[in-house]
């Protein structure tokens, strides 16, 4: 763990060679896995944070060109905005539902409409599917498609560490992710139930604190999601009743 000029710690080594680089708001956290074969970044953060990301990588002993693979947890530009800076040396990978939107620069679903999130063209080299397995030597990552927050969300599971990189799908404390323009609550509930079948010791989210109680937090998220689902049903029933009511 190291400090910066302001004495604030901006990254932490979670496991040997696995780092969390804290988000500079409104960007996401970035995770680095220094593999014996390949170096991987999970998410890039916002485009304007690239200079500081580069600086923190340098403090860890890496240059941007030492990154071999950049995996994007989903298409939102607070996670994917700086990915283009790595495209000359690294393979950029995302779920196919996210890759399509990123490549088309679909402003509505990638949230590029926010001025400071606007990232321009990003080419996704590798379109991922649920069940893909990535071997970087000392660590492996299983790709799990977890639609809900958006249709292109993935989580990455490292089985030897029982660690889950959860993007915006699950947060510490069970805080419910918002349901983005391409997401839906039913898929979200299914994704949480699916994740809860895994043995997870630590959960590394895209924002906020690390969770050391993943099962408890996922159950909370599921409860919140179910109550939101029920509220939505009531809302639509009320709207339908209003439509049918005589003037």
Q: Residues in the site for Fe ion, rule: CB under 5 A? A: 76, 168
Least Å distance, CB 243 to Fe ion, is 33
The three-state (H, E, C) secondary structure of 73-141, written as one string: CCCCHHHHCCHHHHCCCCEEEEEHHHHHHHHHCCHHHHCCCCHHHCCCCCCCCEEECCCCEEECCCCEE
Least Å distance, CB 148 to Fe ion, is 11
Q: Are 72 and 28 in contact (CB under 8 A)?
A: no
Whose Cβ is closer to Fe ion: residue 29's or residue 76's? 76
SS3 label, residue 185 = helix
Closest residue to Fe ion, judged by C-beta, is 76
Least Å distance, CB 58 to Fe ion, is 27
Whose Cβ is closer to Fe ion: residue 168's or residue 187's? 168
Least Å distance, CB 106 to Fe ion, is 14
Whose Cβ is closer to Fe ion: residue 158's or residue 168's? 168
Whose Cβ is closer to Fe ion: residue 34's or residue 76's? 76
Evaluated on CA atoms 33, 37, 38, 39, the torsion sign reads positive
Whose Cβ is closer to Fe ion: residue 43's or residue 158's? 43
Least Å distance, CB 152 to Fe ion, is 10
Sort strands 126-128 and 154-158 into parallel, antiparallel or unpaired: unpaired
CA 186 to chain centre: 19
C-alpha distances out from residue 211 to 114, 120, 169, Å = 29, 33, 13
C-alpha distances out from residue 59 to 19, 43, 75, 79, 113, Å = 12, 18, 28, 21, 33
Whose Cβ is closer to Fe ion: residue 70's or residue 136's? 70
Least Å distance, CB 169 to Fe ion, is 9
CA max distance for the chain = 71
């Amino acid at each position: 763990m190291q400090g910066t000029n302001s004495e604030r710690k901006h990254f932490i080594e979670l496991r040997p060679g696995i780092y969390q680089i804290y988000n500079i708001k409104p960007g996401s956290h970035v995770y680095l896995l220094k593999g014996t074969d390949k170096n991987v970044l999970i998410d890039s953060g916002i485009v304007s944070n690239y200079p500081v990301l580069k600086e923190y990588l340098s403090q860890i002993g890496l240059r941007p060109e030492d990154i071999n693979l950049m995996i994007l947890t989903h298409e939102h530009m607070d996670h994917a905005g700086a990915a283009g800076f790595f495209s000359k040396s690294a393979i950029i990978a995302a779920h196919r539902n996210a890759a399509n939107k990123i490549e088309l620069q679909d402003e509505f679903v990638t949230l590029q409409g926010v001025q400071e999130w606007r990232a321009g063209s990003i080419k996704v080299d590798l379109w991922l599917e649920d069940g893909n397995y990535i071997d970087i030597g000392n660590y492996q990552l299983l790709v799990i498609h977890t639609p809900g927050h958006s249709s292109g969300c993935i989580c990455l599971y490292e089985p030897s560490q029982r660690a889950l990189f959860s993007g915006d799908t699950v947060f510490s404390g069970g805080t419910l992710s918002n349901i983005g323009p391409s997401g839906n609550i039913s898929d979200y509930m299914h994704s949480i139930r699916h994740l809860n079948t895994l043995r997870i010791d630590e959960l590394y989210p895209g924002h906020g604190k690390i969770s050391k109680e993943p099962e408890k937090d996922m159950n909370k998220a599921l409860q919140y999601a179910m109550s939101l689902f029920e509220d939505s049903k009531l809302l639509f029933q009320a709207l339908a009743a209003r439509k049918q009511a005589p003037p």
